[in-house]
Chains A and B, each alone.
Chain A
Amino acid sequence: MKDTKATTAVKEEIRNMTCIVCPTGCQLEVKIVGDLIEVTGADCRRGEEYGRNEVLNPVRVLTTTVKIAEGTLPLLPVRTTEAIPKELLYEAMTALADIELKAPIKTGAVVVENLLGTGIDLVASRDMDHK
């Protein structure tokens, strides 16, 4: 076999990662050869997709809290309806620090529409009654 470095200009990169799609936590090996991405080690298709995404556009669901006035608790747990780009997590946290809602609110109610232009909403993840 010939030396691959000599024969191709396309860089080959291998990344190892833990799949976070489910509690199984498969160890993925993602091989990147130019535009080609090959994922091995995943037990399911969603794992393969996760591996591919981690290279192209890593995303995470953000779960956090926002302040809420007059509720039974001072904080309301919230989540993004879908995963947002990982690099936006801190920016989202800073932006959400200034929000203050008012109780009552229901599970699933939209707290922030189109969070940071992602097209993804932030919603309440529990009911919060008026105190």
Chain B
Amino acid sequence: MTKVIETDVAIIGGGPAGLAAAVSARKAGAENVVIIERHHELGGILQQCIHNGFGLHRFREELTGPEYAYRFIPEVWDDPKIDVYLNTMVLDLAKDQSITAVHPSHGLITLRPKATVLAMGCRERTRGALNIPGTRPAGVYTAGAAQRFVNMDGFMPGKKVVILGSGDIGLIMARRFTLEGAEVKAVVEVMPYPAGLTRNIAQCLEDFDIPLYLRSTVTKVHGKDRVEGVTVSQVDDAWQPLPGTEMHIPCDTLLLSVGLLPENELTQMADVPLDSRTQGAVVDQNRQTLIPGIFAAGNVLHVHDLVDYVSEEAEIAGRAAAEYALRDGDTRQEKITVIPGENVSYVLPQRLDPDAETEFYLRVTKPIDRITIELGGVRLAVRRLVRPSEMLKIRLRKDHWEKLKQENGETSLELVLDAKAQPVPSPRAQREGVRQ
């Protein structure tokens, strides 16, 4: 009774990752590709990110979110071999890649792809996850929900706003609210440094004289029906509120921009092993998960700061998925495990084929002035001033492998990736007073 769709590559999610994966899967020879998108249009969260700043690396210009999406959408629409199912929600993903989805006119549908790319993106952390004490009034929103209301639905959720967390969406929304005539009273960040990109601190907060309180957090929400204010307290090194530092800020809205979490519910349904650090799947250099034929890319795999690299990663996954589908299987060899070492909060890929030439995506645990990136003791690169908010890309070349073999022997199945701090600060770091 249910419609069954056979395809080379199925892509779950039509945001930036899904779009790029579809295009690249076709270029790599996939006969047909299906994109399943729960929303009524392609583009994902980019459609509500109306600010510019996207695409500088990839297109050498500053695009808005929708403009960036339109760099891909026509190519997808115009390709008769890419089927797009909009308003379609995947309910189940089995280990054998059988996908059950619900479609507005076909009802329940089943897809049987030869390869699958997971591109479901991420969601925002909420108040519940932070456990902020106080009342539960209306007016507490995640920054992304507020962004949707303001930029797409045509409503202002509030007039006097406090933003908890200095993630990029929160900073962008501080500017949007201000430009739309609301008053942003403060941005509050628990860490000693901002979570978002430095340039967003400049162009979204400093441009509009919005105060940023570091090492602080919201310790109480006030208001019975609607938010009437928040208490902001400074915190100690263990993030515990310091008594006596409470400051009351009257406001009608509390926005949360406290981090993003990959949306891996479907991934878990298919028993795809996850990395506790990225909260996304464990993948190899082709972005193939540990379940053969299932690939993942974009924010479902790890939260990116730049969409340019989402596209890049999705192209890797899309191409590999197409190749897998065409081969009708995988000739898998024993893979090397990459372990995040000194100062590295996570690294991708977590698995490597021996001799794979690839690029590591990684983040450091704290701001560091000068680092050398080493794999198994072999130096891969040197970087100046790095911050946790900026993902690093480090190339792994053939000559690195040769050195690795010299130092570790042929059979090493585990390699540690370190980001070692260098003793001498650069002039730039000295100016900025970054502490080691």
Contacts and interface: CB of A to CB of B under 8 A. Distances in A.
Q: Do chains A and B touch in the complex (CB under 8 A)?
A: yes
Contact of B70 (A75, A86, A107): A107
Contacts of B50: 63-65, 77, 79, 125
A104 B432 CA distance: 49
Contacts of A23: 53, 56, 197, 199, 305-306, 390
A67 interface: yes
A61 B67 CA distance: 14
A72 to B, nearest CB: 8
B180 interface: yes
A11 to B, nearest CB: 22
Contacts of B280: none
Nearest to B206: A18
Interface string A60-103: 11111101000011110101000000100110010000000000
A22 interface: yes
A77 B153 contact: no
B203 A60 contact: yes
B202 A18 contact: yes
B199 A74 contact: no
B350 to A, nearest CB: 25
A19 B64 CA distance: 19
A126 B70 contact: yes
Q: How large is the interface on B (under 10, 10 to 19, 20 to 34, 35 or more residues)?
A: 35 or more
A75 B202 CA distance: 27
B52 A29 contact: no
Nearest to A41: B428
A20 B52 contact: no
Interface string B45-67: 00100111100100000101011
B129 interface: no
Interface in A1-58: 16-27, 29, 41
A76 to B, nearest CB: 9
Interface string B66-81: 1101100000000000
A79 B64 contact: yes
Contacts of B197: 23, 25
A79 B53 CA distance: 12
Nearest to A79: B64
A29 B390 CA distance: 22
B198 interface: yes
B153 A22 contact: no
A91 B222 CA distance: 34
Given A23-B305, A125-B66, A17 B179 contact: no
Contacts of A19: 199, 202
A29 to B, nearest CB: 7
Interface string B196-209: 01110111001100
A72 B390 CA distance: 36
A75 B152 contact: yes
A73 B203 contact: no
A86 B69 CA distance: 27
Given A67-B154, A75-B152, A107-B67, A27 B428 contact: yes
A86 B207 contact: yes
Interface string B290-319: 000000000000000110000000000000
Contacts of A63: 50-52, 64
Contact of B198 (A18, A75, A86): A18
Nearest to B429: A27
A22 B199 contact: yes
A79 B199 CA distance: 19
Contacts of A73: 152-154
B278 interface: no
A18 B201 contact: yes
15 contacts: A17-B202, A18-B199, A18-B201, A23-B306, A24-B390, A25-B199, A25-B201, A29-B431, A41-B431, A63-B52, A63-B64, A72-B41, A74-B153, A74-B154, A75-B154
Closest 8 CB pairs of A and B: A25-B198, A126-B66, A77-B50, A18-B202, A74-B154, A20-B199, A25-B199, A125-B64
Interface of A: 16-27, 29, 41, 60-65, 67, 72-75, 77, 79, 86, 89-90, 93, 107, 125-127
Given A18-B199, A23-B197, 13 more contacts: A17-B202, A20-B199, A23-B53, A23-B199, A24-B390, A25-B197, A73-B153, A73-B154, A77-B64, A77-B151, A86-B207, A125-B50, A125-B64
